[in-house]
Structure 1
Amino acid sequence: MTLSFLLTSLIVVASPGTGVLYTLAVALAQGSRASIAAAFGCTLGIVPQMVGAMLGLAAILHTSALAFAALKWCGVAYLLYMAWQALRDKGALAIAAQPSAKSQRRVIVTAILINILNPKLSIFFLAFLPQFIAADEPHPAARLLELSAVFMAMTFGVFALYGLFAAAVRDRVISRPAVIAWLRRSFAAGFAALGVRLALSER
């Protein structure tokens, strides 16, 4: 495991994106346990992308305009749906004094869907991880799995830290209706902006 891989992965994972935004929103809405669930769900959502890259799905998305567009617009629709949910204070982003086990399952499922419906993530795995596999590597598939596992562990760790930090200030937030309304609009705008960015993205 090279230092360049670890540093590059950390930059990629820590950069603000859909998963980070979702984890922060859930942490403020439902607290620390839900934020860990969101981090776990975002990490699980990497698995299909990793498997897709290994099976060549990412290559298909890269070369097929129709396949890429279909998955992209599903992702755009879901992000806009998340924006609407944030505005309405519904679903996994609803403010809850005592989150239930059912709500945490919803948080995990939503986080998984956020990553699955992002075609750029599959292409990222296809383009990023192979750079750190030597041409003479005797077991490239095993090496890819190793790199993916480290990337997933870093994703969970960084997202969990984001979530726990947000959850730490949650009590100060939910006691102020004006702040909650501002955050709800901010998160809705953030999801909508990410949806627009995905809509404008090319293969």
Structure 2
Amino acid sequence: MSVQDALLAYSLAALILTLTPGLDTALILRTASVEGGKKAFQAALGIDAGCFIWGAIVAFGLGALLAVSEIAYSVLKWCGACYLCWLGTQLIFRPRTSFNPSHGKAEAVGNWFLRGMLGNVLNPKIGIFYVSFLPQFIPTGHSPLIWTFLLVAIHVVMGTLWSLILIMTTGYASAWLKNNSVIKWMDIATGGLFVFFAVKLAASSR
């Protein structure tokens, strides 16, 4: 596979993956709707950081352990499921009842970044995807280390642009979404979605 063919094929596959609705999309939409675009972008950056962490794991060969070890896969899978379940139950049983963008500003910066990053890092599906997917698009004779980070960077750029589109689109409905009852029920609905993802992750297999 030539360099041009590899980049074209990977970019198409990564674009489809990026546009497919999933946990990251739900997190961005919920955060943009309830917390505002700035915090949603922080969550997006956290998701990007999680992608680079997985890319580093794959690039340095540690991802092979996850691919062949059932124990390693199961441990990470259950950690991810527990984290998503905790996040979901927090939203269900302690939903916000008001919108105050200035409240807890310093805490929120790290909080939403970490939520985005942990939601990505603790999802073994991302790791398995990268381990099995990325090597297919590394041209023969080229550095796996450099190409792995290049492919991850392409995925991250696409994800960031998509997150910005989601954030800007959500902004048009900001007045309606700032309604207190809307915020409360959006938290509950999103919490239920996170719990669904947690159950789905826990029940998944390779």
TM-score of the pair, normalised by structure 2 = 0.88
1:75 aligns with 2:80: yes
Q: 2:125 aligns with which of 120, 124, 144?
A: 120
RMSD between aligned residues: 1.9
SS in 2 for 1:45: helix
Tell me whether 1:137 sits opposite 2:173 in the alignment: no
Q: Judge conservation of contact 1:29–1:94 (CA < 8 Å) in 2.
A: no
After superposition, where does 1:73-112 map in structure 2 within 5 Å? 73-89=78-94, 96-99=99-102, 100-112=105-117
The CA distance in 1 between the partners of 2:98 and 2:72, in whole Å, is 36
Q: Is the 8 A contact 2:19 2:162 kept in 1?
A: yes
Cross-structure match for 1:41: 46
Question: What is the CA–CA distance in structure 2 between the aligned matches of 1:182 and 1:96, rounded to whole Å?
Answer: 13
In the alignment, does 2:199 pair up with 1:196?
Answer: yes
| C-alpha displacement of 1:115 | 0.8
1:176 shift after superposition: 5.0
Tell me the equivalent position of 2:164.
Answer: 160
What is the CA deviation profile of residues 102-130 of structure 1, one whole-angstrom value per residue up to 9, with x for unaligned ones?
A: 21221001111111111111111111111
Return the alpha-carbon distance in structure 1 between the equivalents of residues 153 and 23 of structure 2: 20
Matched residue SS, 2:142: coil
Distance 1:23 1:95 in 2: 19
Whether the 8 Å contact between 1:30 and 1:94 is mirrored in structure 2 is no
Out of 43, 50, 62, the residue aligned to residue 67 of structure 2 is 62
Superposition map of 1:12-27 within 5 A: 12-27=17-32
- 1:7 corresponds in structure 2 to 12
Distance 2:175 2:113 in 1: 23
Unaligned runs of 5+ residues in structure 2 are none
Q: Give the letter for the 1:164 counterpart.
A: M
| Structure 1 stretches lacking a partner, 5+ long | none
Question: Which residue does 1:181 correspond to in 2?
Answer: 184
**Quick check: 166-175 or 48-57, which moved more?**
166-175
Deviation at residue 139 of structure 1 after TM alignment: 2.3
Q: Which residue identity lines up with residue 77 of structure 2 in the other structure?
A: K
The separation in 2 between residues aligned to 1:105 and 1:165, in whole angstroms, is 24
* Greater CA drift, 191-200 or 138-147: 138-147
Aligned length in residues: 199
Q: Deviations over 1:130-182 (max 9, x none)?
A: 11112x233232122211111111111112221232233122122251x3333
Q: Quick one: percent identity of the two aligned structures?
A: 28
**Do 1:48 and 1:116's aligned partners in 2 also have CA atoms closer than 8 Å?**
yes
Would you say the 8 A contact 1:52–1:58 is kept in 2? Answer: yes
